[in-house]
Amino acid sequence: MSLDLSLYIRDPLYRLAVWIIVAQFFFIAGAALIAGVIRWIKPKWDARREQEQSKARQSILKLLNADLDPKIEAEDAQRLLEEASLRSVINAFEQVVTRLGEVEQRQLRASSIALSIEKHALRLAKSWWWWRRFEGVLLLRSVGTESSEELLVRLLRDPHPTVSFYAAWALARVSPIRGLDELVHYIDIKGAYQTETRSQLKLSFSQQVTLLKELKLQHLTQEELETLFDQLSPTLKPVMIEALIQSGRGQAIPMVRRGIHSSDMEVRVASYKAAATSRLSLTEAELKKGLKDPFWPVRAQAAKAVGVLRAINLVPHLCECLADSQWWVRNNSAHSLVQLGESGIEALSYISQFGEDRFARDIARLVLNEAIMSQDRTVMNALNSQPVRVLPKRSSTGEATVLKQERSSALLTTEITALGINQS
């Protein structure tokens, strides 16, 4: 029996299983020990880091004192960098600079602390690893000065898209004058950047708007804006219009008006779309020009802008657009007539009953049905106030529909049938 047991214990598979169990035990014990050490050290580490950041914030806020001697300021910065870690100083600097105005930010970027952070960021931006370059670019966006301008221009051609995009963002903050030409070139001509797979990807529209907004276009004069707008390619003009709208609607109006007269269809579409979404005031002549544009996307956006801007005098022109060959033009025109109130609804109701064009009648009935089903009070009141009209008999049956005298809402029988509602 003992002989059999000794043979069994000497089995190599059994010994391997025993060693695996022992190794697992030591692994679990080691993991528990490490977790205990981390739990004991982390609060002390966090407290020390918070203390360093608090001290760094106080030192950085002192830099906002205009009477501070530059020599004393340099000594305080050197002392801070010796007593606190660079990471704590960077975190404190970013916490402070994001809560200050533009003037105070420029003052901090010229300090000795910012200069030390910038040197560290320049070393990171030259790294082989893209995440190190990305970290350096983010720091340069906060503390960068003109000394980092050339490096940021080179990073616009970085093979990693994230690095190149934030390098463009940093360049716009560091050097708006140099960044104006470089970013326009980057977005407009070299807007396609390369990834690790060398496949071409375009900057999204929102990314392009973000970069142009960083150039502080609202601080340019009207003449400078017009010169810049004329120099841009048709693909970038809508981006500039959107950037101006987000920065300040007042300066966007002249650019929108210039875009309306552009020879490029996309620019005209973007101009009327911007006027509709941001309620930019356009003249009736400018809106009428869009309604008669040879390209239907422009007519569709212009028809939408007429309703948003409440151009009541253009009701007859919207009625003409109800017979347009494109559905989107007819649909936007019909909805704009509803937005224009009683006069537009009355015209839409009349066309839905007596319009000679079949497409105009169909879209008018469809939009009126949608408004009635949504219980739009304006539409209901306008329909209830209309007198009931009866067409004279025609030779062709079904060409005109006679309203029933007892219907106060003037809703057609064919409309009810189209909605699938049974009359009682």
Please state the rounded mean pLDDT for residues 48-67: 75
At residue 143, does pLDDT exceed 60?
Answer: yes
Looking at residue 396, its pLDDT comes to 40
Give 3-state DSSP helix, strand, coil % of the chain, rounded to 5.
Answer: 70, 0, 25
What is the spatial distance between Cα 143 and Cα 276, in angstroms, rounded to a whole number?
39
CB 306 within 8 A of CB 314: yes
Provide CB contacts within 8 A for 281, sequence distance 6+. 253, 309
**The dihedral formed by the CA atoms of 255, 258, 262 and 268, expressed in degrees to the nearest 10:** 60
Q: What is the pTM of this model?
A: 0.61
At residue 145, does pLDDT exceed 80?
Answer: no
Looking at residue 381, its pLDDT comes to 60
Lowest mean pLDDT among 312-321, 329-338, 394-403: 394-403
Looking at residue 327, its pLDDT comes to 92
At residue 35, does pLDDT exceed 50?
Answer: yes
**pLDDT tens by residue, 245-262:** 887 766 788 888 888 988
What is the spatial distance between Cα 117 and Cα 139, in angstroms, rounded to a whole number?
8
Greater confidence (310 vs 192) lies with 310
Looking at residue 199, its pLDDT comes to 41
Of residues 407, 401, 332, 395, the one with CA closest to residue 363 = 332
- Sequence spans of domains, the chain: 314-424
Q: Categorize the per-residue pLDDT at 416 as very low, low, confident or very high, splitting at 50, 70 and 90.
A: very low
**Beta pairing partners, 194:** 200
Greater confidence (131 vs 107) lies with 131
To the nearest 10 degrees (0 to 180), the angle between helices 176-188 and 161-174 is 150
Looking at residue 29, its pLDDT comes to 92
Greater confidence (154 vs 403) lies with 154
Phi–psi pair at 269, nearest 5 degrees: -60, -45
Looking at residue 402, its pLDDT comes to 32
Looking at residue 329, its pLDDT comes to 93
At residue 295, does pLDDT exceed 50?
Answer: yes
CB 343 within 8 A of CB 351: no
At residue 264, does pLDDT exceed 80?
Answer: yes
What is the spatial distance between Cα 184 and Cα 171, in angstroms, rounded to a whole number?
12
Q: Categorize the per-residue pLDDT at 287 as very low, low, confident or very high, splitting at 50, 70 and 90.
A: very high
**pLDDT tens by residue, 370-386:** 877 766 666 656 565 55
CB 301 within 8 A of CB 269: yes
The DSSP string of 54-77 is: HHHHHHHHHTT-TT--HHHHHHHH
What the block records as the tokens of 328 is 């989107």
Looking at residue 390, its pLDDT comes to 44
Looking at residue 127, its pLDDT comes to 85
Burial class (CB in 10 A: 0-12, 13-18, 19+), 400: middle
Kindly state the percentage of the chain with pLDDT values over 90. Answer: 12
Looking at residue 28, its pLDDT comes to 92
What average pLDDT is seen over the chain?
Answer: 76
Looking at residue 301, its pLDDT comes to 93
Q: Categorize the per-residue pLDDT at 421 as very low, low, confident or very high, splitting at 50, 70 and 90.
A: very low
At residue 107, does pLDDT exceed 80?
Answer: no
Residue 203: HSE in the Cβ half-sphere, 13 Å Cα cutoff = 32
At residue 73, does pLDDT exceed 60?
Answer: yes
Greater confidence (387 vs 180) lies with 180
